[in-house]
Structure 1
Amino acid sequence: MRFLRRLSGIVVAGLLLAALPAGTAQADVPPGYACAVTYASTGWGTGFQADVTISNTGTRTFSPWILQFVFPGSQTLAAGWNGTFTATPPSVQVTGPSYHKSIDPGTSFGIGFNANGANDQPTSFTVNGVPCTVS
């Protein structure tokens, strides 16, 4: 099945390959794409550390992959690992590292970050514009 709708992400040969801007509704997710995110954090005085596991629960590979999420308050990113982090508060985008550009079906990949502010779980996790379930 070809995916021809014009989106804010990159479309190559009819496949969605890049993430939509945070907060963009994605009504037409191509068949076979699904994801889940496990989020765990530990807070300290003025900040927190978070570990995020991205799982491909679909039947198609995310390659390359871009995770996007939104901080619910005035949190700011301090540092991140296992990806390239770009933050425009309240949104954060994480691009897969050169050594792990793909997340195949049935596999997972972990990233982490330190942030300043309240230890509140981010919202709106997506991978390549596909909304993820969160646990």
Structure 2
Amino acid sequence: TSEPSNTLTATAQSGLPTFSPSPSPSPSPSVSPSSGIRCKVTYAANDWGTGFTTNITINNTGTTTINGWTLAFTFAGNQKISPPGWSATWTQTGNSVTAANFDWNKTIKPGESVQIGFQGTYTGSNPTPTAFTLNGTTCS
């Protein structure tokens, strides 16, 4: 998922040449693999054996404002979140977890952060997720 593109407006003017059905070849526009988002995620769990709470900090380390976000990560163990969590809409399918912003915390300006979290359960071990993405961009 990426940020919406800017709106494009075109106005026809009289007296301009008409469109040629056979335009000369031109290079295709290149698509940027990155949305320009730069982020750092801190995952801090408070574990008590078969349950835990986790506070996650999403920091905008880039130079552009993030307007609407979805954080995604994957559990390595059998951890299960116990919605509703806080400061995000949490969902889990298998080991994949996503957190989506609320309207009041959808904007993260450069240098600012958002804190979110959830409560969860597990059996065995509770390894920390190793990779986080924000709107599809890998965070450090």
Over aligned residues, Cα RMSD in angstroms? 1.7
Cα distance in 2 for partners of 1:11, 1:83 equals 18
Per-residue deviation, residues 2-46 of structure 1 (Å, max 9, x unmatched): xxxxxxx256326xxxxxxxxxxxx9113x320001111111121
User: Equivalent residue of 2:52, what SS?
Assistant: strand
Matches within 5 A, 1:1-135: 9=1, 12-13=4-5, 28-30=33-35, 32-79=36-83, 80-117=85-122, 118-133=125-140
Per-residue deviation, residues 50-105 of structure 1 (Å, max 9, x unmatched): 11000000011221111111111111111311110111120111111121111111
For the pair shown, which has the larger CA radius of gyration, 1 or 2? 2
Change (3 A) 1:47 1:122: same
Q: Deviation of residue 128 (structure 1)?
A: 0.5
User: Equivalent residue of 2:82, what SS?
Assistant: strand
Structure 1 segments of 4+ aligned residues over 3 angstroms from their partners: none
Query: Which amino acid in 2 is paired with 1:85?
Result: W
* Contact 1:37–1:55 (CA under 8 A) maintained in structure 2: yes
* Contact 2:2–2:135 (CA under 8 A) maintained in structure 1: no
Cα distance in 2 for partners of 1:131, 1:60 equals 16
User: Equivalent residue of 1:110, what SS?
Assistant: strand
Unmatched segments (≥5 aa) in structure 1: 1-8, 15-26
* Contact 1:41–1:119 (CA under 8 A) maintained in structure 2: no
* Contact 2:60–2:112 (CA under 8 A) maintained in structure 1: yes
Percent identity for Structure 1 against Structure 2? 42
Unmatched segments (≥5 aa) in structure 2: 7-31
**TM-score computed with the length of structure 1 as normaliser:** 0.76
